[in-house]
Amino acid sequence: MEFRYEVEGGNFSRAGHASSAVKKILKQLNVDNRIIKRIVVALYEGEVNVVAHAHKGNILVYIDEQKINIKIEDEGPGIPDIDLAMQAGYSTASAAVREMGFGAGMGLPNIKKNTDELKIASDVGKGTTLEMITYLQ
């Protein structure tokens, strides 16, 4: 199964829309609740990152019997130093993002914690792609 969602940079009232839709799909597929939580927490962190940092992005979701593969591609500033961005507490978030309850430098480490495989590729000035794989069993 494949699903695609668009994410608008800066639009916080819509942030979480894609994650919510994916959660409903996984529930319908009777995936274990604990696995659903890991998947949607990681996805939601990624979705909030696009809203917080990028101009726009796409979320591509592929589900088969074994796993869910989620690709989050954005057009935005990119990440100059991915190792630094993975460090807990490091953040470049704006005051507006912090007012929403995010921007504490916890997102990427939490995505890593909640996925079985994570790949991050980034081109400074162009954008970032996150690929997250989580096994459903």
Binding site for other proteins (CB under 8 A): 12-13, 15-16, 19-20, 23, 33, 37, 40-41, 43-45, 48, 100-104, 106-107, 110, 113
Closest CA to 58 of 82, 33, 76: 76
Residue 40 Cβ, how far from other proteins at the closest point, in Å?
5
Q: Which is nearer to other proteins, 89 or 125 (CB)?
A: 89
Closest CA to 59 of 116, 114, 14, 94: 14
Q: Which is nearer to other proteins, 88 or 124 (CB)?
A: 88
Pair type for strands 56-63 and 127-135: unpaired
Residue 100 Cβ, how far from other proteins at the closest point, in Å?
5
Neighbours of 66 (CB within 10 A): 9
Q: Are 9 and 55 in contact (CB under 8 A)?
A: yes
Residue 109 Cβ, how far from other proteins at the closest point, in Å?
9
Q: Which is nearer to other proteins, 101 or 125 (CB)?
A: 101
Residue 123 Cβ, how far from other proteins at the closest point, in Å?
25
Sequence-ordered strand ranges (E) for the chain: 2-8, 56-63, 67-75, 117-123, 127-135
Q: Which is nearer to other proteins, 44 or 63 (CB)?
A: 44
